[in-house]
């Protein structure tokens, strides 16, 4: 506190107030200069703040918020797109499975139909063979029956020849056989 | 032993002499740079320098930018946004400047060798009258003569409303005084008390060193006084910030009344 200016001011102020040591703040002669200066300084600072600092800081904060919300929006959109693709892939998988099942079912049905058809063909073939066999049997029987008459004629001729010693006429024997009632 | 002069620290003296400027009708205005003006200029330069340095506009802020944004968000969110609401945005630069200037003046007043500009009644009165004037100007500009509705409490019988009007008017009129005195008194008190305890440290310390016997207890008193100064300074830092905040908050309260007068905010 050895500053000469301060000491002088103390002395002057003390002298003014008669050495009572009152508050120097109430020395009104110092007021106008301080009041005008603080208002000027405030005005300059206010201009700086309203034109430069507040827009700069506020703009930076807004830009950051915009960027963050934009990034969150991007991320959300990307997630939605991924979810949509996932759903599409699941749908495709489902469709593919359904198609495979359909193909399998068709193949099964075709195989069954083919089997039935083949069975039917076989049965038809068998039936044909059966019919043919029956026809053959019938013709064989007819043949046999025809031969029975011949055998009967020959047997009758032979019996007649042995019994009577004469050769019986074939046509007469046949006539007699036909006339005889079938026993 | 040096004389104990707790008020000496508030003496205003010239640092740079400037010729007085004549003001018509009022006489001469002495615009010399005093120690008080010098510290106002230092505060203004510190504030501007800080904001120029911190205005990097980076998405990921550095330390200075983060501090500047914290202060901005505090004033924008708690003061103009919180007290005035949506209509408070235009007053953000004003309240921000007021808060930062007072806070900086309070803080450099606490620095060793610093001059407590806000313990000058002239300075706090100038700021308070300026705030009051702005409230009046905004009030009349926004509401016209509807401004006087401020003194009529809504929904009151006439017999109560008239005395209430006087009370409201008086409480409105003393606002610049209370604004100025609150800041002035807090700063003055803090500095005087700190000075007194500092003088105890030296006075009791010398007394204890020079004396004998019981006088040695003075040394203990000196140490205790020193510890009290440490605690007081911590408190004064809080007060420096708080009083700036209170001044800015009251400014917002006063602005809110006139800005949101029409829809009973």
What would the pLDDT profile of B140-171 be if each residue is shown by its tens digit?
A: 999 888 888 888 777 778 888 888 888 989 99
Going by the DSSP 8-state scheme, the letter that residue B112 receives in this structure is T
pLDDT at B265: 44
Q: Which of A34, A52, A66 to mutate to test the interface with B (most CBs of B within 10 A)?
A: A34
pLDDT at A157: 84
CB B57 within 8 A of CB A56: yes
- Whether A89 maps to a domain, the answer reads yes
Among residues of chain B, what percentage have pLDDT more than 70? Answer: 98
In this complex, the residue of A24, A34, A64 whose CB is nearest that of residue B7 is A24
Residue B222 has pLDDT above 70, yes or no: yes
Residue B79 token pair: 């003061």
List phi, psi (to 5°) of A20: -80, -20
User: What average pLDDT does the structure give for chain B?
Assistant: 90
Between B52 and A173, where is the model more confident?
A: B52
* Total domains present in chain A: 1
Nearest residue in chain B measured CA to CA from A3 = B13
CB A177 within 8 A of CB A156: yes
Nearest residue in chain A measured CA to CA from B113 = A1
Distance from CA of residue A179 to its chain's centroid? 91
- Whether A40 maps to a domain, the answer reads yes
- Whether A3 maps to a domain, the answer reads no
Tell which A residues from 23 to 82 touch B, by Cβ distance under 8 Å.
23-27, 30-39, 41-42, 44-46, 48-50, 52-54, 56-61, 63-64, 67
Which residues make Cβ contacts (< 8 Å) with residue B107, sequence separation at least 6? B237, B240, B241
- Whether A153 maps to a domain, the answer reads no
Distance from CA of residue A17 to its chain's centroid? 99
Q: Which domain holds residue A55?
A: 32-138
- Whether A98 maps to a domain, the answer reads yes
Which residues make Cβ contacts (< 8 Å) with residue B260, sequence separation at least 6? B84, B85, B87
Residue A52 token pair: 């430069």
CB B119 within 8 A of CB B10: yes
pLDDT at A15: 43
Q: Do A10 and B11 touch (CB under 8 A)?
A: yes
Nearest residue in chain B measured CA to CA from A56 = B55
Measure the CA–CA gap between B247 and B94, rounded to whole angstroms.
Answer: 12
Nearest residue in chain B measured CA to CA from A54 = B93
Measure the CA–CA gap between A64 and B56, rounded to whole angstroms.
Answer: 13
Measure the CA–CA gap between B242 and A125, rounded to whole angstroms.
Answer: 114
In this complex, the residue of B13, B101, B125 whose CB is nearest that of residue A6 is B13
Q: Which helix (H) or strand (E) holds B16?
A: strand B14-16
Mean pLDDT of B239-244: 96
CB A152 within 8 A of CB A177: yes
Q: Do A45 and B126 touch (CB under 8 A)?
A: no
Residue B41 token pair: 């200029």
Other C-beta atoms closer than 10 Å to the C-beta of B210 total 10
Question: Does A132 reach chain B within 8 Å, measured CB to CB?
Answer: no
Q: Do A54 and B29 touch (CB under 8 A)?
A: no
Q: How far is A11 from chain B (nearest CA, A)?
A: 10
Q: Looking at A83-87, B15-19, B57-61, B113-117, which range is the least confident one? A: B57-61
Mean pLDDT of B43-52: 94
| Strand, helix or coil for residue A7 | helix
- DSSP string of B114-162? ---GGG-HHHHHHHHHHHHHHHHHHHHHHHGGGGGGGGS-SS--HHHHH
The pTM (predicted TM-score) of the whole model is: 0.73
Going by the DSSP 8-state scheme, the letter that residue B194 receives in this structure is H
Question: Which residues in chain A have Cβ-Cβ distances shorter than 8 Å to B59?
Answer: 60, 63-64, 67
Tell which B residues from 82 to 101 touch A, by Cβ distance under 8 Å.
92-94, 96-98, 100-101
pLDDT at A1: 40
Q: Which of A37, A58, A65, A70 to mutate to test the interface with B (most CBs of B within 10 A)?
A: A37
Measure the CA–CA gap between B111 and B83, rounded to whole angstroms.
Answer: 32
CB A21 within 8 A of CB A14: yes
Measure the CA–CA gap between B42 and A112, rounded to whole angstroms.
Answer: 103
pLDDT at A38: 95
pLDDT at B254: 94
pLDDT tens profile B168-213: 899 999 999 999 999 999 999 999 999 999 999 999 999 888 888 8
| Strand, helix or coil for residue B265 | coil
Q: Which helix (H) or strand (E) holds A134?
A: helix A54-164
Which residues make Cβ contacts (< 8 Å) with residue A100, sequence separation at least 6? none
Task: Give the closest residue to B216 by CA, choosing from B201, B200, B204.
Answer: B204
* Average pLDDT of adjacent 10-residue blocks, chain A of 183 residues: 48 44 80 92 96 90 91 95 96 96 96 95 94 93 84 85 82 79 58
Q: Do A53 and B51 touch (CB under 8 A)?
A: yes
CB B72 within 8 A of CB A61: yes
Q: Could you tell me where the DSSP H helices lie in chain B?
A: 35-54, 63-73, 92-110, 121-143, 158-173, 175-210, 217-259
Residue B113 token pair: 């060798």
């Amino acid at each position: 506190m050895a500053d000469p200016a301060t000491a002088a001011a103390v002395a002057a102020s003390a002298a003014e107030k008669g050495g009572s040591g009152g508050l120097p703040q109430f020395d009104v002669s110092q007021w106008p200069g301080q009041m005008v200066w603080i208002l000027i300084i405030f005005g300059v600072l206010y201009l700086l703040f309203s034109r430069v600092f507040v827009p700069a800081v506020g703009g930076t904060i807004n830009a950051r918020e915009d960027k963050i919300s934009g990034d969150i929006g991007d991320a959300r959109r990307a997630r939605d797109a991924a979810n949509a693709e996932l759903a599409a892939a699941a749908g495709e998988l489902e469709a593919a499975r359904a198609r495979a099942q359909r193909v399998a079912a068709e193949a099964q049905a075709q195989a069954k139909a083919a089997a039935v058809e083949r069975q039917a063909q076989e049965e038809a073939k068998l039936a044909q063979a059966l019919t043919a066999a029956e026809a053959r049997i019938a013709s064989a029987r007819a043949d046999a029956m025809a031969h029975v008459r011949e055998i009967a004629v020959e047997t009758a001729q032979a019996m007649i020849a042995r019994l009577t010693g004469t050769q019986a006429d074939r046509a007469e024997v046949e006539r007699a056989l036909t006339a005889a009632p079938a026993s | 032993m040096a004389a104990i002069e707790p008020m000496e620290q508030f003496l205003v003296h010239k640092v740079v002499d400037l010729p007085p400027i004549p003001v018509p009708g009022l006489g001469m205005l002495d615009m010399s740079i005093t120690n008080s003006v010098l510290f106002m200029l230092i505060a203004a330069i510190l504030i501007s320098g800080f904001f120029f340095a911190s205005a990097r506009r980076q998405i990921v802020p550095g330390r200075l930018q983060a501090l500047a944004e914290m202060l901005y968000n505090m004033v924008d969110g708690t003061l103009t946004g919180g007290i005035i609401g949506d209509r408070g945005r235009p007053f953000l630069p004003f309240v921000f400047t007021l808060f930062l200037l007072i806070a900086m003046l309070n803080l450099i007043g606490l620095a060793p060798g610093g001059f407590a500009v806000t313990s000058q009644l002239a300075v706090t009165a100038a700021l308070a009258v300026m705030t009051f004037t702005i409230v009046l100007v905004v009030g009349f500009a926004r509401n016209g003569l509807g401004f006087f509705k401020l003194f009529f409490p809504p929904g009151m019988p006439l017999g109560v409303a008239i005395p209430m009007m006087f009370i409201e008017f008086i409480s409105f009129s003393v606002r610049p005084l209370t604004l100025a005195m609150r800041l002035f008194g807090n700063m003055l008190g803090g500095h005087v008390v700190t000075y007194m305890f500092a003088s105890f440290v030296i006075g009791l310390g010398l007394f204890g060193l020079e004396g004998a016997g019981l006088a040695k207890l003075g040394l203990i008193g000196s140490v205790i006084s020193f510890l009290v100064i440490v605690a007081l300074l911590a408190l004064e830092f809080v007060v420096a910030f708080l009083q700036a905040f209170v001044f800015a908050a009251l400014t917002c309260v006063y602005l809110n009344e006139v800005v949101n007068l029409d829809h009973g905010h």
